[in-house]
Amino acid sequence: MNRVFLQRLLLAFSVLAAGLVSRARADEVEVANTLPLAPGVGGGDVLSIGVSMFIVIGVIVVLGWMYSRSRFVAGGANDVINIVATRALGPKERLLIVEVAEQQLLVGMTQTGVQTLHVFDKPVCVAEAPQNSTGFAARLRAAFQESRK
């Protein structure tokens, strides 16, 4: 076959394909014109979604706050066992001074166990009320206490 014949054949297929594509697009336009339009997203929809998101986030915050409060309800000031001091020795090791029945114990705590290291005859340190720290938990707690007043 010669080169001119192939070029004309390719041109004929291109014209045929272009005609089919344009006919298909015309059919799509006709179908699109006969279908009802979908409703658009309006300002009320955006407001509804925003309010719903705030409600969900609020519920998560309230549930988290209730969970944190429920963990500390059991650890009141009238407990028999008090942790007087703690010192981290590593990522999973720490020393604790624990007060039980007016006696203080030095306790070593690791990932695999807890061991009494020493029993003190006299109290080494006095359990103090928690000081105001500048951490996020302290600030959040103070904000909640102010909001209750």
pLDDT in tens, the chain (149 residues): 566 676 776 777 777 666 666 665 655 656 555 656 556 667 777 888 889 999 999 999 998 888 877 755 555 556 688 888 889 999 889 999 999 888 899 999 999 999 999 999 888 876 555 555 567 888 888 888 887 76
CA–CA distance, 107 with 113 (Å, rounded to integer): 10
pTM, rounded to two decimals: 0.38
Q: Let me know whether 7 and 28 are in one domain.
A: yes
User: Do 87 and 122 fall within a single domain?
Assistant: yes
52/84 same-domain check: no
- In the structure encoding, which two tokens stand for residue 12, read together? 């004929």
Q: Give the range of the structural domain holding residue 53, as residue numbers without chain letter.
A: 42-74
What letter does residue 74 receive in the DSSP assignment?
S
Is 6 in the same domain as 29? yes
Q: Are residues 64 and 120 in the same domain?
A: no
Give the pLDDT confidence score for residue 146 in this predicted structure. Answer: 82
Number of folded domains that form the chain: 3
Contacts 24+ apart (CB under 8 A), 126-129: 126/84, 127/82, 127/84, 127/99
pLDDT at residue 101, as a whole number: 84
Q: Does 34 share its domain with 46?
A: no
pLDDT at position 108 is 94
Task: Tell me what pLDDT residue 121 has.
Answer: 87
Same domain, 49 and 91: no
Residues 67 and 87 placed together within one structural domain of the fold: no
Same domain, 4 and 21: yes
pLDDT given for residue 110 in this prediction: 92
For position 96, what pLDDT does the model report? 92
The confidence score (pLDDT) of residue 30 equals: 60
Domain co-membership, 2 together with 54: no
Specify the pLDDT at position 131: 57
- Strand pairing class (81-88; 94-100): antiparallel
Based on the fold, state whether residues 65 and 84 are members of the same structural domain: no
Q: Which of 81, 79, 89, 88 is nearest to 105 (CA)?
A: 81
CA distance 71 to 75: 8
Element (H, E) at 50: helix 43-73
The residues with which 85 forms a beta bridge, in sequence order, are 97
